[in-house]
A and B are shown apart, each in its own frame.
Chain A
């Protein structure tokens, strides 16, 4: 019977493993439509107060409206965001059942690590090498940059422009504003004029509408965008990193979009072309062949014509001499 015991043990372990993996797999795939609908319904209770509508028409008379004004969440933006499919209580999980909420409720809010443990470790290691960690490690957390009520990661976006707008708003929010910069910067540190430090970059403001700051200010590599933000001395300065046939935009801004399509209408990097014409990167190979052919044939024609002229001239002269 020891064989039978072993069989039961293996079967038991198998069931336990499946039981453990199934919820994890479900978590990776995200909540079911039913769970999302349920969360949305539960969130209505929160939005009854924490929305513009709630502020305009408070459901209770004793609300501290001044405090509430700073705690509003835009409902459509939240529902479209990555976290919008979850109940508010998934993160704001203790002390929010009743009103007034418990005084230490905010302290009990879940951290990013609670759900994104594996990712958070990797990000922390990258952040530790980041320019922000050098002077501001104690002032920085995930939420310093990422608004968890609106964030939508690149792979969940369908347009590069939206990714750019969202991500650059984070960087420019501080680096293009003296007021916000001063909140985080070390004492006496003056915000470097962003246009001046980018004056080497042609059409800098146009670039910021088309690509993210992090295309140049993060090292390339890994399966996701690095959180190691590079300062100006280490940031990418080679234009051809993007402006070439082998453009790094394919594995940066267009990494997720690139999977959808690679070549359209004979253009290389056509996924980029669908949103931006990038000199050097979006080239039509057929048009290149025609244009190079036109110039090459003209040159060849001229060379052949010139050679024939010289030859005929020599023959004529020789005949004359004879």
Chain B
């Protein structure tokens, strides 16, 4: 192990000692408000999106024209909210939370993965507890970066073109030009849904099952 790696390990080991003995304030109000608005919009868009894509089947879905209207309004609100989040992240410096800090990124990822796949069953504690400087462990940071800066722009951008199809290419490979837009929108939405399932589940990994959900409301993280 290099000196650099040892330093990284020590720095992260230091985080295990909370500065106020039980809880730290990690999430400012604007992040929490954004998070819950985002959650509400994403859930609405998933429900209406499924109703549109699988329309006409036997499943009890939202009526098509109603689903279109809700999806369009919620979609536009999500665009505004997404732009707000990206700008606010840049202005406040919060975007650093989504950038895993070297050194030892791979090593920390592996250690975190081992915890999820093995350690958690044995009752071990989180290898990299939350600090005010680093809200996320390395795996979380990478995943959130992927979702917010890669999947979300594709989802939001393709949704906008879907809403204003005059900007879609007229034709592609002999098929309607809206096809690649539709495929990207559908695939990115499914990735968001899969993420959402895992995201909600991983929120049960706090001190108590409800701890992380409380953190998202109060901003205080319990150790």
Q: Which of B29-67 contact A (CB under 8 A)?
A: 52-57, 63-65
Instruction: Establish whether residues B194 and A312, one from each chain, have CB atoms under 8 Å apart when the complex forms.
Output: no
Closest chain B residue to A280, Cβ basis: B55
Q: Is the CB of A302 within 8 A of B201?
A: yes
* Alpha-carbon gap, A200 to B69, bound state (A): 10
Interface size (A, Cβ < 8 Å)? Answer: 40
Partner of A273, one of B68, B69, B176: B176
- Contact assessment for A298 and B194 in the assembled complex, using a CB-CB cutoff below 8 Å: yes
Asked if A244 and B197 make an inter-chain contact with CB atoms under 8 angstroms apart, the answer reads: no
Q: Mark A218-245, 1 if CB is under 8 A from B, else 0.
A: 0000000000000000000011100111
Contact status A273-B201, CB under 8 Å:
no
Q: Are B56 and A244 in contact (CB under 8 A)?
A: yes
Bound Cα distance from A287 to B178, whole angstroms: 16
Can you spell out 16 A-B residue pairs with CB atoms less than 8 angstroms apart?
Answer: A240-B64, A243-B55, A244-B55, A244-B56, A246-B56, A247-B56, A274-B175, A276-B176, A277-B179, A280-B54, A280-B56, A283-B53, A295-B193, A298-B194, A305-B201, A309-B120
Pick from B13-21, B106-114, B181-189 the stretch touching chain A.
B181-189
A-B residue pairs, 5 tightest by C-beta:
A244-B56, A239-B64, A280-B55, A240-B56, A277-B178
Are A299 and B65 interface neighbours, CB within 8 A? Answer: no
Q: Is B123 an interface residue (CB 8 A)?
A: yes
In the complex, the chain A residue whose C-beta lies closest to that of B166 is A206
B198 at the interface (CB under 8 A from A): yes
A233 to chain B, nearest CB (A): 17
Interface contact A202-B65, CB-CB below 8 Å: yes
Residues of chain B with a CB closer than 8 A to A282's CB: 179, 182
User: In the assembled complex, which residues on chain A have CB atoms less than 8 Å from the CB atom of B54?
Assistant: 280
When distances are taken between beta carbons in the complex, the residues of chain A under 8 Å from B123 are: 312-313, 316
- Residues in B with CB closer than 8 Å to A295 are 190, 193-194, 197
Determine whether the beta carbon of B197 is less than 8 Å from that of A299: yes
Q: Judging by beta carbons under 8 Å apart, are B55 and A240 in contact? A: yes
**Are the CB atoms of A294 and B178 closer together than 8 Å?**
no
Let me know if B10 is at the binding interface, CB within 8 A.
no
A130, B37: Cα distance in complex, Å: 50
Residues of A within 8 A of B57 (CB): 244-245
A316 to B122, CA, bound (A): 8
Extra 15 A-B pairs, beta carbons < 8 Å, given A239-B55, A240-B55, A282-B182:
A202-B68, A206-B165, A239-B63, A243-B64, A244-B56, A274-B176, A280-B55, A280-B56, A283-B53, A291-B190, A294-B191, A295-B194, A312-B121, A312-B122, A312-B123
Instruction: Assess whether B22 is interfacial by the CB under 8 Å rule.
Output: no
Q: Are A202 and B72 in contact (CB under 8 A)?
A: yes
Asked if A201 lies at the interface with its beta carbon under 8 angstroms from chain B, I say yes
A285 at the interface (CB under 8 A from B): no
- Give chain B nearest CB distance to A201 CB in angstroms: 7
Q: Which of A246, A283, A291 has the most CB of B within 10 A?
A: A291
Residue A284 lies at the interface, judged by CB distance under 8 Å to chain B: yes
Partner of B174, one of A240, A274, A308: A274
Which chain A residue shows the least CB distance to B187?
A291
Determine the chain A residues whose CB is within 8 A of the CB of B72 once the complex forms: 202
Chain A residues 73-132 with CB under 8 Å of chain B are none
- For the complex formed, measure the closest distance between the CB of A225 and the CB atoms of chain B, giving whole angstroms: 22
Shortest Cβ distance from B51 into A: residue: A280
Contact indicator A284/B183 (Cβ below 8 Å): yes
Given A277-B178, A280-B64, answer yes or no on A306-B201 (Cβ-Cβ < 8 Å). Answer: yes
Query: A42 within 8 Å of B by Cβ?
Result: no
B175 to chain A, nearest CB (A): 5
Q: Out of A238, A243, A265, A294, which one reaches B52, CB within 8 Å? A: A243
